[in-house]
Structure 1
Amino acid sequence: MGLVARAVEAAGIPTVTLSVVRSMTEATPAPRNVLVRFRLGQVMGEPGNVAQQQAVLRAALDAVPALAKPGGTIELPFRWRRETYPPPVGRP
């Protein structure tokens, strides 16, 4: 994501990336990086949890002004807590 974000930034559009793996973020840092302690593949939160996903998105966007220094990283306070999961949408 860092490579894409840098290309978009070069066109004058601010970006912020979300990641769950610090080492990967540090290997290819974007101009602004936000880390969340969620599961791989669920960087915005639990599937179907719209309120949580909106909160993560708002927090990531709110972090942009604090990440003025290129390559800056902020870890959001969200934590993955779920241990059981509902069946996937569309399956009985």
Structure 2
Amino acid sequence: MLSVITTATSTPAQDQGILGGALIAVTAIAGVAFVVLVVAAVISIIRSELGAGMKLVWIVFVVVAPFLGSLAWFAVGRRDAQDPVRRGTRAA
């Protein structure tokens, strides 16, 4: 005599619904983080001590290549903007 043991498992449709919801949530969080990174970079560029021409160059770079431009600004640009020797002016 065979006995059938049933267990409480989720169906494939339920698994896809859970995974789909999780994917949407992760995508939304990543999207918000991306927008915050770009906006923070633009605000930081505007508030920097760079000249108007260099600010424009950095903003265009951030708009054309948002992720790479923002990371480049925070990695290199801010440091260059704070150092008067790198900007081409001598400290008195």
- TM-score (ref. length: structure 2): 0.32
More helix by share: 2
More strand by share: 1
| Higher Rg of the two aligned structures | 2
- TM-score (ref. length: structure 1): 0.32
1 or 2 for the larger relative contact order (CA 8 Å, sep ≥6)? Answer: 1
